[in-house]
């Protein structure tokens, strides 16, 4: 019995670590959503005005396995029900970076017609390799499209170069309307999140009821495209001692030009601090600006003033007489 439990525990550990991309890596992805809600593919009750067929803004999160945006067969959260019915994201605003395993929050523009495209960019790291997103269908009772916890770290422990998914329409279970423009008919009690198919809901009035079809055409296509992958150890590696040996003035612009490029991403502390002697730290933030101590600032100002004086002397020429022309003095007497 104990041996069986140990085997199961080890198996679970292997599965948990099966999708673990290298630590200290940061991946940048672009998500591309193409919608295919057209009158040719879905002719029944196709909305053409007040309002016409369209899609809300895309709402997305990159996260770890402790966060869940939605899940088929489970009850929708209050924020998810609010979004599925009205397309509003205000209840999701509290789910920011650091909230329940969220690394990055991202969004994309609304699509003003049934077929169109929208894109967004987001970040992942080895501890937050999952992505979830949703888009509300307009008009609809509480219908939406989306994906939940898609892992972009593959079985070979590498970031996916490209991943494509076909999306089907989903019902949030908070409204019992059958058609696009059904009046608000709150489900009591609420139903779990479900997939809308050609035969479900099993009612002739349903806008997507096509009993002659085995399955509905994909209403949208989603692509995840890797833009770039950073190795944070390489990006942040910097031998400052060698720079000090080569350069007497550690505050000069030449040294600042050699500072390492910093990668800014949600969930990554992009501040890099370098200690320099007793004058205090020079810190480089993700904006590329330096923060220096008062002593360093005073020395920098004195050095600039000294260089300015030397520059003026070079313009005048060393050893050459300086000719100063003064305006003639005015007569102090008044002649009558």
What residue ranges of the chain are covered by domains with CATH 2.60.40.2130?
A: 22-230
Structure tokens at 334: 């008044």
Selection from 200, 145, 197, 192 nearest residue 172 by Cα: 192
Instruction: Report pTM.
Output: 0.67
Distance separating alpha carbons of residues 71 and 192, to the nearest angstrom: 9
pLDDT at 292: 59
- Joined together, the tokens standing for residue 60 give 């997305």
Give 184-237 as a 3 state SS string: CCECCCCCCCEECCCCCCCCCCCCCCCCCCCCCCCCEEEEEEEEEEEEHHHHHC
Instruction: Give the C-alpha distances (Å, rounded to integers) separating 300 from 105, 248, 273, 274.
Output: 40, 13, 19, 18
At the second CATH level, the architecture of 22-230 is: Sandwich (2.60)
Q: In what order do the strands lie in the sheet with 272-276?
A: 272-276, 280-284, 290-291
| pLDDT given at position 251 | 41
Average pLDDT per consecutive 10 residues, the chain (336 residues; last block may be shorter): 39 48 94 98 94 97 96 96 94 84 95 98 96 98 97 95 97 94 89 96 94 96 97 62 42 40 39 36 40 69 82 64 54 46
């Amino acid at each position: 019995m104990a041996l069986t439990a140990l085997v199961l525990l080890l198996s679970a550990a292997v599965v948990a670590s099966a999708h673990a991309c290298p630590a200290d890596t940061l991946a940048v992805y672009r998500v591309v959503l193409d919608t295919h809600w057209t009158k040719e593919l879905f002719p029944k009750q196709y909305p053409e005005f007040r309002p016409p067929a369209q899609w809300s803004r895309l709402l997305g999160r990159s996260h770890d396995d402790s966060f869940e945006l939605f899940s088929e067969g489970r009850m929708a959260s209050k924020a998810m029900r609010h979004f599925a019915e009205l397309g509003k994201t205000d209840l999701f605003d509290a789910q920011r970076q650091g909230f329940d395993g969220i690394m990055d929050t991202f969004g994309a523009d609304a699509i003003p017609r049934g077929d169109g495209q929208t894109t967004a960019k987001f970040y992942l790291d080895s501890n937050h390799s999952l992505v979830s997103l949703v888009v509300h269908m307009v008009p609809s009772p509480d219908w939406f499209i989306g994906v939940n916890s898609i892992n972009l770290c593959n079985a070979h422990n590498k970031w996916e170069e490209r991943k494509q998914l076909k999306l089907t329409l989903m019902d949030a279970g908070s409204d019992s309307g059958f058609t696009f423009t059904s009046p608000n008919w709150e489900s009591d009690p609420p139903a779990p999140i479900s997939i809308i198919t050609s035969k479900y809901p099993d009612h002739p009035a349903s806008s997507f009821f096509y009993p002659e079809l085995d399955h509905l055409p994909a209403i949208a296509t989603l692509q995840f495209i890797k833009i770039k992958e950073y190795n944070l150890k390489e990006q942040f590696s910097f031998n400052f001692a060698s720079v000090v040996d080569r350069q007497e003035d550690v505050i000069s612009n030449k040294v600042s030009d050699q500072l390492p490029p910093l990668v800014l991403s949600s969930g990554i502390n992009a501040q890099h601090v370098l200690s320099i002697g007793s004058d205090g730290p020079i810190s480089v933030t993700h904006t590329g600006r330096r923060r220096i101590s008062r002593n360093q600032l005073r020395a920098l100002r004195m050095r600039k003033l000294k260089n300015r004086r030397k520059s003026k002397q070079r313009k005048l020429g060393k050893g050459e007489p300086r000719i100063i022309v003064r305006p003639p003095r005015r007569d102090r007497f008044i002649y009558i």
